[in-house]
Amino acid sequence: MKPEKTKTAATSVANSAATGAAIKAATAGIAATPCPCGSGRGYDACCGALHRAFAETGALTAPDAQALMRSRYTAYTLDLIEYLLATWHPDTRPETLERGVRDLKWLGLEVRRHSRQDADHETVEFVARSKVGGRAHRMHEISRFVRVHGAWLYLDGQID
């Protein structure tokens, strides 16, 4: 099934020439590299396709919650703030997000479980590893996602 291209209020507001240019600039030169999400595919064929669709049209095209979660992890690694905000449910989305800490290095993503509750609700359990100032960090989260008007959005998560 082909994902429905849907614009939400967030994508309509966030999608501007500046947003598209910022995403294109942040992702320049990494198209052929392995995707940071750890899928084993190249960035351009994986999360890059979702980021590019958003940059060009404002559409959120993730086919399921796991694809959206992976694209959000990759967006964090690339500081794609506009994409992160657009993919966050408006009921729980912060007004702004700060750019990543300068010496923050994302080390990898492990998806442990992806489950579907019904056609519009899914959860993804994952572990994201990072390093800041020489210290390793691990974040284990069970995230909830909801599909609104055909677009998957991050709702919230329980962090251990």
Which domains occur in the chain, in start order? 9-159 (3.10.450.50)
Whether pLDDT at 65 is above 50: yes
Check: CB of residue 131 under 8 Å from CB of residue 137: yes
pLDDT digits (tens, 9 = 90+) for 114-157: 999 999 999 999 999 999 999 999 999 999 999 999 999 999 99
pLDDT digits (tens, 9 = 90+) for 74-84: 999 999 999 99
Alpha carbon separation from 104 to 33, 57, 62, 122, 137 (Å, rounded): 20, 30, 26, 29, 10
Out of 13-17, 19-23, 105-109, the most confident range is 105-109
Burial of residue 22 (CB within 10 Å: 0-12, 13-18, 19+) is: middle
Both tokens of residue 37? 């999400």
Backbone phi, psi, residue 133, to 5°: 55, 35
Predicted local distance difference test score (pLDDT) of residue 17: 65
